[in-house]
Amino acid sequence: MIKIIDNFLDNTEARMVEKCLENCPWFLTSEEATVSPFKYLTMKDSNTKEYIQFVHNLLDNNGNLLSPEYHFLINFFQNKLKNTQTIKKFMRMKINLQTQCSFSREHFYNTPHLDRLDNSEYFNAIYYVNQSDGETLLFKKENNRYEVIEKIIPKQGRLLIFDGNTYHSGRHPIEALKRIIINFNFI
């Protein structure tokens, strides 16, 4: 299942979220940390290129609050998502910020991965905070190869929902200065 909802947030709400994150405390991750701790279960190919990114974790893998100063943002998105999807529990929520990268090309992408490996049935949602390039790619893994099945362009206010067992990755922007997304895992 792949569901794209444009205008998930109206222009006023989308700008409010973007403004809220302007002063967000960001934490720098290493190039390998984008798929950690599952990097040993992912497969890289000639198009896989990693680069640093900044993250801010809001909820851990069990849905526990990690960022009290953004509790209002967590509640806001939980309520908004419940209007479009039946949700029993939020398991994880984090914000990713990727910057331009000097070696980025349109055919490069970060390591395809799954967010959870506990065999639970769950969904991913990605909210696009800003207008950017640097698509989200969804893959089908077959015979130790990845095949791109969908490319989603970051558009402010857009929400992408897909099955948690779908391999996915992002791509650092080439034209835009930054790409900011909010990633949710939920049952």
- Domain span including residue 142: 2-186
pTM equals 0.89
DSSP for the chain, please give it.
-EEEETTSS-HHHHHHHHHHGGGPPPEEE-GGGGSTTSGGG----TTB----EEEEEEE-TTS-BS-GGGHHHHHHHHHHHHTTS--S-EEEEEEEEEE--TT--TT-BPPPB-S--S----EEEEEE-S-----EEEEEEETTEEEEEEEE---TT-EEEEETTSEEEE---SSSSEEEEEEEEE-
CATH number, domain with residue 75: 2.60.120.620
What pLDDT is attached to residue 43? 63
Predicted confidence (pLDDT) per residue in 22-41, tens digit: 889 999 986 555 554 454 44
**Tens-digit pLDDT profile for residues 48-60:** 777 788 999 999 9
- The number of domains in the chain is 1
